[in-house]
Amino acid sequence: MLETKTIIEEKQGEALDRKSKPIAGNGKKVYIESYGCQMNFSDSEIVASILETEGYSTTRLMQEADIVFLNTCSIREKAEQTVRKRIKSFRKEKVRKPHMIIGVLGCMAERMKSKLLEEEKLVDVVVGPDAYRDLPSLLEEVDGGRKAVNVILSKEETYGDLNPVRLGGNGVTAFVSITRGCDNMCTFCVVPFTRGRERSREPESILNEVRQLSKDGYREITLLGQNVDSYLWYGGGPRKDFDKLSKEEKERSVNFAQLMDLVAPIDRKIRIRFSTSHPKDMTDDVLKVMAKHENICKYIHLPFQSGNSRILEMMNRGYTREWYINRIEAIKTIIPDCSISADVITGFCSETEEEHKDTLSLMEYVKYHFAYMFKYSERPNTLAQRKYEDDIPEETKARRLSEIIDLQQKHSLERLQKDVGKTYEVLVEGVSKKSENELYGRTTHNSVVVFPKENYKAGDYVMVKINSCTSATLIGEAI
């Protein structure tokens, strides 16, 4: 067995007493590659901030790095396979540079620590989402010839005091994390086990980060959390239900609607987005704040996962088909021009053909602007893996997914076709990947727009008339 100074048990809140003082990075270069959700990309910026204060610098070139980190995702098996292949490619580079340190961060780090470090000997350091402050000490251990790991989950860590280093960004859009962890315990999901209990970040630290981004010239901010709607600050610690708070806690508490009401006025030239919402926690108050502030984008990502109430109950989603439709109707009433996207899982345990058709019918009812669509992938240690049989044949899953994708492409095209002939304010994010003579940006509805470059640049707001579209992109010209 490899010598590992840091031995981690699956206990939240335990701390390891480190007596040695971390050695400064002395200009060593760190390369960070991120996979998965937006939260992982935001976490990579936190990691860069922590290491920068210790004398490390970041690089966009893996070949010149002394330390290589993969910030990983465990939500689907394919994501883990992708990361494994990437680690092995780094191992080849290490043959040329034996001193190079390879590390795994994030959700996959927590779930597969022993396998990565000891069984397969693929990496030198493994760090979970709540242990990034320990990175300098862990890197010191690796420099001393040992393997290092810390995947302790915290009930309090939010990294709220850090100013993230914006990695490889466009200088226009930025992420601001407002919660960490998740309490929902959906039966198919590993996030509660890899990211721990849900906790909300102190409001003033969020507002200060937004103010700094405004000073730095950013034009769009996305408030991030596994479930932003359940944001509730009352003084720290794991999230409680509002009715369980003391009188004093209630008086100083801030919920998600109130937080957005505080964020939006900081800079009216900054667009505000948020992700991800949960249907069971989406309140009318949130929708009313969205309608109140023009700079809060009229777009909501509202995963429904399945259109059938029995499957939703098996998934432990906390709502029914009827409740979800109620939330859709509330959005249409309070924000009539709001665009909606979703997540869909097909082929969940025991899903019948009729239940699959319920998903298709819900899609027909809502007609989403776009969606992220997946076939069910059984994840180790989830409740679904322990309790249910993954009994839908792969060919059936693939066929159902194909039907969902085809229907969504139809709806996406229909939605965008309705925008042809209209004029929208577009925030320019950069040069189009297909042509250096074109720019791309997004509308308030999160629709991608491509138009001739002319004299415009990233960060400009441009009025664009839409002349045509594909199923994914609006095509226009500045007016």
- Please compute the mean of the pLDDT values over residues 417-422 and round it to a whole number: 98
User: What is the CB neighbour count within 10 angstroms for residue 93?
Assistant: 14
The answer as to whether 9 is a domain residue is: no
- Residues 227, 179: Cα–Cα separation, whole Å: 8
Write down the residue that tokens 């210790």 correspond to. Answer: 54
More confidently predicted of 106 and 441: 441
Closest CA to 22 of 121, 117, 148: 148
Is residue 54 located within the same domain as residue 135?
yes
β-sheet with 173-177: strand ranges across: 173-177, 220-224, 271-275
The answer as to whether 314 is a domain residue is: yes
- Residues 267, 415: Cα–Cα separation, whole Å: 30
**pLDDT over 50 at 21, yes or no:** no
Please give the tally of structural domains in the chain. 4
What letter would DSSP give residue 233? E
Per the DSSP assignment, residues forming a β-bridge with 31 are 68
Residue 62 near residue 90, CB atoms below 8 Å? yes
Mean pLDDT is lowest, of 47-61, 329-343, 346-360, 416-430, for 47-61
- Please compute the mean of the pLDDT values over residues 424-434 and round it to a whole number: 96
Is residue 141 located within the same domain as residue 100?
yes
Q: Please give the span between the terminal C-alpha atoms of the chain, in angstroms, as a whole number.
A: 67
Q: Is 81 exposed, middle or buried (0-12, 13-18, 19+ CB in 10 A)?
A: exposed
Tokens of residue 391, six digits: 């009994």
- Please compute the mean of the pLDDT values over residues 193-216 and round it to a whole number: 94
pTM of the model: 0.87
- Alpha-carbon Rg of the chain, whole angstroms? 23
Confidence of residue 15 (pLDDT cuts 50, 70, 90): very low
The answer as to whether 184 is a domain residue is: yes
Domain end call among 247, 278, 297? 297
Tokens of residue 476, six digits: 């226009």
Residue 474 near residue 416, CB atoms below 8 Å? yes
**pLDDT over 70 at 236, yes or no:** no
Grouping H, G, I as helix, E, B as strand and the rest as coil, residue 430 is strand
Grouping H, G, I as helix, E, B as strand and the rest as coil, residue 99 is coil
What letter would DSSP give residue 388? S
State the number of CA atoms in the 13 A half-sphere of 379 facing the CB. 26
**pLDDT over 80 at 119, yes or no:** no
Is residue 290 located within the same domain as residue 331?
no
**pLDDT over 60 at 465, yes or no:** yes
Confidence of residue 239 (pLDDT cuts 50, 70, 90): low
Residue 449 near residue 441, CB atoms below 8 Å? yes
Per the DSSP assignment, residues forming a β-bridge with 102 are 68
The sign of the CA dihedral 135, 138, 142, 144 is: positive
Is residue 410 located within the same domain as residue 316?
yes
Residue 142 near residue 125, CB atoms below 8 Å? yes
- Please compute the mean of the pLDDT values over residues 29-33 and round it to a whole number: 95
The CATH code of the domain that includes 337 is 3.30.750.200
The pLDDT of residue 10:
30
Tokens of residue 90, six digits: 């780094």
The answer as to whether 145 is a domain residue is: yes
**pLDDT over 90 at 13, yes or no:** no
**pLDDT over 70 at 237, yes or no:** no
The CATH code of the domain that includes 114 is 3.40.50.12160
Confidence of residue 112 (pLDDT cuts 50, 70, 90): confident
The answer as to whether 111 is a domain residue is: yes
Residue 73 near residue 40, CB atoms below 8 Å? yes
Write down the residue that tokens 């900081």 correspond to. Answer: 266
Write down the residue that tokens 């069984």 correspond to. Answer: 119
- Residues 61, 57: Cα–Cα separation, whole Å: 12
State the number of CA atoms in the 13 A half-sphere of 30 facing the CB. 29
Is residue 336 located within the same domain as residue 407?
yes
Is residue 184 located within the same domain as residue 102?
no
- Please compute the mean of the pLDDT values over residues 59-74 and round it to a whole number: 90
To the nearest whole number, what is the mean pLDDT of the chain?
Answer: 90
- Residues 273, 113: Cα–Cα separation, whole Å: 34
Closest CA to 96 of 57, 65, 138, 142: 65
Write down the residue that tokens 């993230």 correspond to. Answer: 164
Mean pLDDT is lowest, of 22-36, 44-58, 77-91, 407-421, for 22-36
Is residue 190 located within the same domain as residue 84?
no
The parent domain of residue 210 ranges over 170-297
Mean pLDDT is lowest, of 4-18, 68-82, 180-194, 203-217, for 4-18
State the number of CA atoms in the 13 A half-sphere of 439 facing the CB. 23
Grouping H, G, I as helix, E, B as strand and the rest as coil, residue 2 is coil
The sign of the CA dihedral 256, 258, 259, 264 is: positive
- Please compute the mean of the pLDDT values over residues 157-173 and round it to a whole number: 88
The pLDDT of residue 111:
76
The answer as to whether 5 is a domain residue is: no
Closest CA to 266 of 232, 310, 223, 304: 223
User: What is the CB neighbour count within 10 angstroms for residue 122?
Assistant: 17
Domain end call among 297, 316, 340? 297
% of residues, the chain, pLDDT over 90:
73
Is residue 290 located within the same domain as residue 303?
no
% of residues, the chain, pLDDT over 70:
93
- Residues 375, 288: Cα–Cα separation, whole Å: 34
Residue 109 near residue 8, CB atoms below 8 Å? no
The answer as to whether 159 is a domain residue is: no
Domain end call among 297, 323, 354? 297
Q: What is the per-residue pLDDT across 313-334, written as a single tens digit (0 to 9) for each? A: 999 999 999 999 999 999 999 9
Residue 428 near residue 441, CB atoms below 8 Å? yes
Is residue 361 located within the same domain as residue 387?
yes
Grouping H, G, I as helix, E, B as strand and the rest as coil, residue 282 is coil
β-sheet with 370-375: strand ranges across: 299-301, 339-346, 370-375
